Amino acid sequence: MSLTNATPLEVAKAARVGSRQLAVLSTEDRNAALSAIHRALAAGKDDVLAANRKDLDEANKQAAGGTLSASLVKRLDLGKPGKYEDMLQGILDVRDLEDPSTSDAPQAPKQSRVFHPILLTKSLVDAQPRLHVGRNSVVAGTNMVK
């Protein structure tokens, strides 16, 4: 699935499936996946930045029209000096984190994982500034992502 043309519901469902698949990966597999992501983004930097410039052009038009905040446009700009490299380094930093399940350090009590559809839906609405959703739609949407 291409997330570029996906609906918010499709993105939410894909994220849910993906999170469950990633949660059971071994440390080696997780680190290999993060390394592969890092390599792909490093190799595709020119393409990513070109696409980002197009996105920024559209975002600037929306900001000028008042439908998108200028602060959000600033956060979208991956072409700022050092921002892309910082993003790549962040991937390596996460990869290099110690796996808490293999650590000798005292472990926090086990916590159960509870899925809160309303929080997921709210985050999707927040991430889509042009998406105008009424309160009833948000509540109804929580029952769709299962």
**Between 124 and 46, the higher pLDDT residue:** 46
What is the pLDDT at residue 104?
64
Residues 110, 141: Cα–Cα separation, whole Å: 30
Q: Where are the alpha helices (DSSP H) in the chain?
A: 8-23, 27-43, 45-64, 70-76, 83-95, 117-127, 135-142
Closest CA to 131 of 71, 75, 58, 67: 67
Residues 56, 79: Cα–Cα separation, whole Å: 10
What is the pLDDT at residue 111?
57
| 51 token code pair | 């696409």
Are the beta carbons of 101 and 24 closer than 8 angstroms?
A: no
**What percentage of residues in the chain have a pLDDT greater than 90?**
27
Residues 130, 137: Cα–Cα separation, whole Å: 15
pLDDT in tens, 41-88: 999 999 999 999 998 999 899 999 998 888 888 888 899 999 999 999
**Between 94 and 121, the higher pLDDT residue:** 94
* Helix orientation angle between 83-95 and 45-64, rounded to the nearest 10 degrees: 120
What is the pLDDT at residue 53?
92
Q: How many CA atoms lie within 13 A of 74 on its CB side?
A: 3
What is the pLDDT at residue 13?
87
Distances in Å between the Cα of 113 and the Cα atoms of 33, 82, 107 are 23, 36, 16
